[in-house]
Structure 1
Amino acid sequence: MSTQKKDQYRETVPHKSHFVPVSVHTTKIEIPTETDGVAVLPEKNFPALYLHWHPELEFFYVEEGEVEFFIENHAFLLKKGDGIFVPPKLMHWARTKGTVLFHAAVADPLWLISPHNSECFQKYMYPVCSGSWKYAVTFTSEKNWHKEILTQLKFIFSMDEEKIAAKELLIQGTFLMIWQKLYDHHLKSFYPDAKKRRPQLEYLQKSVSYIETHYMEDLTLEELASLVHLSRGQFCRLFQAWTGMTPFCYLNRCRVLNSSQMLARSSKKISEIASLCGFNSISYFNRTFLKITGMTPSAYRKEMSLIQNYEI
């Protein structure tokens, strides 16, 4: 199976400014107070950010309004002035009940700290690239180190593509100052255990990659465990220790993420999309999609169509 299959649910927006592997995005979602003469209910949720993932790390900041931000199946309420760090490879999306203005800065972790500087990379960057939600963290104005990071993020958000290309070292240095604070106050507590388990992560990567490229097939636990020469019990324990979920929860995550892209970008019937993504039952697909995203496939398709109408 080619990697093009995985790329179907990987975000296709290039995160580069000229040749610098970093991008800054500003988005304003205008939510109308009424639709077709009918008042919009204040409790109604609208999509602010579509469901996606990417191999880069991301910093997200709310300038106006508030959003409910989701990383995998974990929800974070971000109010005006709040931010969040999204580790690489994690599925994320957001919704809002009103008009919102937000910024996102996305950067290649290998650009921030090169793996050629092996000791530095292993100490500061390698563990967070494992794709675990536990490294995510929100920033508010209540803590000094949070405020320092938010101030530095605002500087990055002020840069357009031309400025980023012209001041690459300044942007990289600002990201590194943010990363040092993030490491000192948050990441550092997780890293000793991650360093000891690095060989296990590299060992399990084969099964993770296999799931991501064969998610539409009828996979078995025995098949996945045999790829890394482990018993079913050993495989499940190691897999859950690193990803935070069971192998089949991870499999369903891949299936749902791929199906979300089809729902947003194609006119295929929901039953056909479910089958193409490995679900043998439409009812099970609906339940699984609802559990992971918080909405049904039909509701998700409808809400994704609204983004283009409200985004300016």
Structure 2
Amino acid sequence: MDVKLLKENRVHGDFQFPFGYYSMKYDNPSQMLDCHWHDEFEFLLMTSGCAVFRVGDLKYDIAKGQALFIKSGEIHSAYSNKGSWGFSAIVFSPSLLNSNPYDKIQNKYINEIIKKQSAYATLISGSEQWEKELLEHLKITIEIARKREYTYELLIKSHLYAIFSLILSNIKINTDISLMYKSDRLKPAIQYIQSNYKQKIYIDELSKMVHMSEGHFCRYFKKIVMKTPIEYLNHIRIIKACELLKNSDRKVIDIAMDVGFSSFSYFINIFKRCMKLTPAKYRKEHQT
């Protein structure tokens, strides 16, 4: 899954069947799922180990066999300090659930799911019977998506309907909805960094965008993104540098300057800290 930038621009599936399946495994506990968001729904099932997920302002300790329901636009990330960990995820447009706009299913259920999505609980722990049933449907859906055999689209949609039937019938209201979306305030600053990483970016400019003091902005940014604003800016620059190292023969110093670093030695230090190897070695290992 491409989670290197916070706002995903990728298409999950295609126009006719907007559904994607992904499996991730982190062998190094220092590796993390970078903070990001997307417009689609996501069900994420822990398949190994355990990890701490942040969804909005809320934190969840997720163990193998448990799942999260991540709604449209929710900022989320994850890390673990306890060895290897992994998960499988299905990401799909809410429109995949659509029925005939004039029938009872669309008006009574699907519109309700989309309209009130923020009220539904995020954690699916498996502690209650309906959650166990939901987790079983999710595991089956993931396996169907992995195999992609004939009629897999029909089967996936049928299990998604079963999942949302269980959610609607056993609704757990989020009591901290305001916390889920407080983090949305950071999105203008995050998107500004992504679009202007080549330029000098100042903390006071970012804090003004989100109407926070500089101190509060820096603390809150670190809490949600799990990197300081400068660390995140450097992270974006290094990711862009990696793309250029893989796909061009340009000099390393020119790449460093192009992605926004004014000091070549600083670029080398940051690159080694982020990627655990030098730019030259990265190019040698990844260039086709």
Name the TM-score, length of structure 1 as normaliser.
0.53
Q: 1:298 aligned to 276, 282, 287, which one?
A: 276
Q: 1:105 aligned to 75, 79, 90, which one?
A: 90
How far apart, CA to CA, are the structure 1 residues paired with 2:171 and 2:269? 38
Q: Which residue is 2:117 aligned to?
A: 124
How far apart, CA to CA, are the structure 1 residues paired with 2:15 and 2:35? 23
How far apart, CA to CA, are the structure 2 residues paired with 1:189 and 1:46? 31
Q: Which residue is 1:191 aligned to?
A: 177
Q: 1:173 and 2:161 equivalent?
A: yes
Q: Which residue is 1:22 aligned to?
A: 19
How far apart, CA to CA, are the structure 2 residues paired with 1:244 and 1:14? 28
Cα displacement (A) at 1:184: 1.0
How far apart, CA to CA, are the structure 2 residues paired with 1:255 and 1:17? 33
Cα displacement (A) at 1:152: 2.3
Q: Tell me: CA distance 1:246–1:300, structure 2 relative to 1, closer, same or farther (3 Å).
A: same
Q: 1:58 and 2:42 equivalent?
A: yes
Q: 1:159 and 2:137 equivalent?
A: no
Partner amino acid, structure 1, of 2:28: N
% same residue = 17
How far apart, CA to CA, are the structure 1 residues paired with 2:142 and 2:260? 40
1:196-226 per-residue CA deviation (whole Å, 9 max, x = no partner) reads x7xx957x65444323311332112333355
Gaps of 5+ in 2: 102-106
Partner amino acid, structure 2, of 1:191: I
Name the TM-score, length of structure 2 as normaliser.
0.56
Contact 2:221–2:229 (8 Å) recurs in 1: no
How far apart, CA to CA, are the structure 2 residues paired with 1:258 and 1:182? 45
1:231-250 per-residue CA deviation (whole Å, 9 max, x = no partner) reads x52x8757976994489824
Q: Report SS of the residue matched to 2:195.
A: helix
Contact 1:252–1:288 (8 Å) recurs in 2: no
How far apart, CA to CA, are the structure 2 residues paired with 1:173 and 1:14? 22
Q: Which residue is 2:201 aligned to?
A: 219
Partner amino acid, structure 2, of 1:20: F
Q: 1:252 aligned to 213, 216, 231, which one?
A: 231
1:109-148 per-residue CA deviation (whole Å, 9 max, x = no partner) reads 565589x9988645324x89xxxxxx864x5544545423
Gaps of 5+ in 1: 1-5, 30-43, 129-134, 307-312
Give the paired residue count. 261
Q: Report SS of the residue matched to 2:201.
A: coil
Q: Report SS of the residue matched to 1:218.
A: coil
Contact 1:10–1:52 (8 Å) recurs in 2: no
Contact 1:124–1:183 (8 Å) recurs in 2: no
Q: Tell me: CA distance 1:154–1:223, structure 2 relative to 1, closer, same or farther (3 Å).
A: same
